[in-house]
Structure 1
Amino acid sequence: MTEHDLFYLLALQRINGVGAIMAKKLLTHCGSAEAVFKTKSSDLAGIDGVGTVLLKNLKDPSVFEKAKAEIAFIQANGIEVAYFQDQNYPERLKQCIDGPVLLFSSGTINLKDRKIISIVGTRQITAYGTEFCRKLIEDLAPLDPIIVSGFAYGVDIVAHQLAMEYKLQTIGVVAHGLNQIYPKAHKKYVAAVEQNGGFMTEFWSSTNPDKENFVRRNRIVAGMTEATIVIESADRGGSLITATMANDYNRDVFAVPGRTTDKYSQGCNNLIKTQKANLLTSAADLVYIMNWDINQKPKPVQKQLFVTLDPEEQKIYDYLLKSGKELLDILALHCDFPVYKISGILLNMELKGVVRPLPGKLFEAI
C-alpha cells in the first residue's frame, strides 16, 4: 500500500457515517478510496445505505488535513499499517464483514503460518484462574501459538506475561491509539511485549480509551483468532461479549469450568451450560477439538535417548508398537481409557517425542 493510497483511506475513515462495513461497500463499488471522493454523488447514491447526509459528508475537506496529520504520526513512530486486502492483514479477520479496513500495529508481529488463540476473562483473576492459565500456556508452548488478549487488568495481562515467559509471541489488541497505553500501570510491559509480538489497534492516535471502543476492540480479538478461551468471568463482562462475537464469527470458543458458588466462574459455567463454549479442562481438550494433532508444526524438540514413561503412557506405547497406526477411539477402547483422558496422555507422549499424530485421528509410535 502506497502513502498515496493510505492518505485517501485515512480520509475516508474520517467521513462521518463511514464505518468498516460502509467503507468496504464504497471501496468495492469505486475500486479505491481516492475514487470514492472523485465519483459523482449520483453514482454513489445507488449503494445500499448511502443517503443524502453521507453524500454531503463526503464533501468535507477537513478529512484530508486529518489524514495528513495521521500519516505524519505513523511515519514518525514506525507504525505498521495493514489494509484489509493486504497479505499482512490477519487472514481470519478478512472473513469478518465488520473487520477494520485498516489495522495499525507496533512491535515485531509475525502472523504467517501461525496458530493464533485469544485468552480473555475477568479483570479480577483468582489464584485458580492464574494457575490454570499458566498450565494451559505451558502445555501449549511446544505448538508455538500466538497468544492474543486485550492488555487489560486480570486475565489479559496474565496471559501476555505467561506467553512471554514461555517464549511465545503475544499481541495486545488495544482500544485506543498507539500514542498511549491503557491502563497506564501496564506501561512497564510495553517494551517486552513489543520484543515478543506487539500491539494492534484500529484506532487513530487521536483516539482515547473510551468505553464504547472496548467492544469494538473485542471483535478484533475474536475475529483474528482460531479460538477464544475464557479463563474466568462473572455472569456479565467484556469477555462474554468477546465469546459471543467469536461464536458469531463461527470461531471455536472454550470456557474453563468452576464451582457453581464461585463468582468468577459463573460466566464460564453459563457458556458451557448453554452450549456456547466447549468445556476446557486442559490443553489436551483444545488440541483435540481444534484437531491440531493434524498438520501441526510444533517447535523442534530434540528426542531424548532415554524417555521415561509412566504406566499409562507405557501401556499406550506398547499397544501402538504392536498394532502400528491406530485410531484414537480404538486406542482408547483397547487401552481401557476414556477418550478425554487418552487425548491428554497422547499429547504428553507427543511432547516427549514417542508418538506422532497422523491425518484422520490416527496415532503411531516413533
Structure 2
Amino acid sequence: MTTSDLFYTMALLKIEGVGDIMAKKLISHCGSAEAVFKTKKQHLASIDGIGSMLLKNLKDESVFDKAHKELAFIEKNAINVTYFQDENYPDKLKHCVDAPVILFTSGTIDLKNRKIISIVGTRQITSYGTEFCKKLIEDLAPLDPVIVSGFAYGVDIVAHQLAMEHNLQTIGVLAHGLNQIYPKNHKKYMTKMEQNGGFMTEFWSSSNPDKENFVKRNRIVAGIAEATIVIESAERGGSLITANMANDYNRDVFAVPGRTTDKYSAGCNHLIKTQKANVLTNAADLVYMLNWDIKEETKSIQKQLFVSLDDDEQKIYDYLIKTGKELMDIIALECEFPIYRVSSILLNMELKGVIRPLPGKLFEAI
C-alpha cells in the first residue's frame, strides 16, 4: 500500500457516515479510496446505501487534514499498517464483512500459516480460571499457537503472560491508538509483548480507550482466530459479546464449565447450556474439535495432552499402549471395570483424541 493510498483511505474513513462496510463498498465500486473522492456525485448516488447526506459529507475537506496528521504519527513512530486487501492481512479476519479496512500494528507479528486462538474472560479471574489457563497453554505450547487477547486485567493479561512464558507469539488487540497503553499498569509488559508478537488496533492516535471502543475491538479478537475460548465470565460481560461475535462469524467457541454457584462460571455455563459454546475441559478437547493434526513423532505434544486423563482413563490408556490394540470386553476384564463403565470411558477418551476405534470392536491408543 503506497503512502498516497493510505492517505486517501484514512481520509475516507474519517468521513461521517462511512464505516468499514461502506468504505469497502465505495472502494470496490470506484477502484480506490482516492477515486471515491474524484468520482462524480451522480455515479456515487447509484451505489446501494449512498444517501444525500453521505454524498454531502464526501465533500468535507477537513478529513484530509486529519489524515495528514495521523500519517505523520505513523511515519514518525514506524507503525506497521495493513490494508484489508493486502496479502498479509489476517486471513480469517479478511472474511469478516465488518473487519477493519486498516490495521495498525507494532512488534513482530507473523500470522501466516499459524494456528490462532483467542482467549477471553472476566477481569476478576479466580484461582480456578488461572490454573485452567495455565494448564491449557502449557499443554498447547508444543503446537505453537498464537494467543490473542485484549491486554486487559484478569484473563487477558494472564493469557498473554503465560504465552510469553512458553515463548509463544501473543497479540494484544487494543481499544485505542498505539500512542498509549491501557491499562497503564500493563505498560511494563509492552517490550516483551512486542518481542513475542505485539499489538494490533484499528484506532488512531486520537482515540481514547472509551467504553464503545472495547466492544468494537472485540470483533477483531473474535474474527482473527480459529476459535474463541471463554475461561471465566459472569452472566454479563465483554467476553460474552466476543463469544457471540465469534458465533456470528461461524467460528468455534469454547467455554470452561464451572460450579453453578460460582459467579464467574455463570456466563460460561450459560454459553454451554444454550449451545453457543463447546465444553472445554482440557487441551485435548480443543485439539480434537479443531482437528489440529498431531504427528506421531511429536511425542512431547501427546504426553502433555495425556496428562489430562483421569485415573480410570490413564489405566486403560497404559494398558492399550502395552497391548497395542484390544477388544472392549478384554479391556474391561483386564482393567477390572464393568463393561458399561468401559464403554463410557472409551467414548470420553475417543473424544479427547487419545484412542481410536478399529473394525471388530477393537481399540488402540494413538
Q: Normalising by structure 1, report the TM-score.
A: 0.87
Deviations 1:3-30 (A, max 9, x none): 1111111111111110000001101100
Partner amino acid for 2:201?
A: T
Residue 106 of structure 1 aligns to a residue whose secondary structure is strand
Partner amino acid for 1:84?
A: F
- Aligned match of 1:341: 349
Give the % identical residues: 71
- Aligned match of 1:129: 129
Give yes or no for contact 2:284–2:352 (8 Å, CA) kept in 1: yes
CA-CA distance at 1:185 after TM superposition: 0.8
C-alpha separation in 1, matches of 2:110 and 2:285: 26
Deviations 1:195-223 (A, max 9, x none): 00000000011100011001110000000
Deviations 1:237-274 (A, max 9, x none): 00000000000000000000000000000000000000
- Aligned match of 1:288: 288
C-alpha separation in 1, matches of 2:296 and 2:178: 32
Residue 105 of structure 2 aligns to a residue whose secondary structure is strand
C-alpha separation in 2, matches of 1:183 and 1:282: 30
C-alpha separation in 2, matches of 1:232 and 1:226: 19
- Give the 3 Å change call, closer, same or farther, for CA 340–48 of structure 1 in structure 2: same
C-alpha separation in 1, matches of 2:12 and 2:128: 47
- Give the 3 Å change call, closer, same or farther, for CA 37–364 of structure 1 in structure 2: farther
| Structure 1 unaligned regions, length at least 5 | 305-309, 324-332, 348-354, 356-362
C-alpha separation in 1, matches of 2:301 and 2:287: 21
- Aligned match of 1:352: none
- Give the 3 Å change call, closer, same or farther, for CA 41–116 of structure 1 in structure 2: same
Give yes or no for contact 2:123–2:154 (8 Å, CA) kept in 1: yes
CA-CA distance at 1:365 after TM superposition: 7.5
Deviations 1:318-346 (A, max 9, x none): 454789xxxxxxxxx9x853332345472
Give yes or no for contact 1:285–1:340 (8 Å, CA) kept in 2: no
Partner amino acid for 2:58?
A: L
C-alpha separation in 1, matches of 2:61 and 2:159: 44
RMSD (Å) for aligned C-alpha atoms = 2.7
- Aligned match of 1:358: none
| Structure 2 unaligned regions, length at least 5 | 304-313, 328-339, 357-362
- Give the 3 Å change call, closer, same or farther, for CA 228–75 of structure 1 in structure 2: same
- Aligned match of 2:178: 178
Partner amino acid for 1:338?
A: L
Q: Provide the aligned length of Structure 1 versus Structure 2.
A: 340
CA-CA distance at 1:231 after TM superposition: 0.3
C-alpha separation in 2, matches of 1:283 and 1:27: 42
C-alpha separation in 2, matches of 1:118 and 1:298: 27
C-alpha separation in 2, matches of 1:143 and 1:81: 28
C-alpha separation in 2, matches of 1:71 and 1:298: 49
- Aligned match of 2:87: 87
C-alpha separation in 1, matches of 2:296 and 2:354: 16
Within 5 Å, give how 1:138-157 maps onto structure 2.
138-157=138-157
C-alpha separation in 1, matches of 2:323 and 2:8: 64
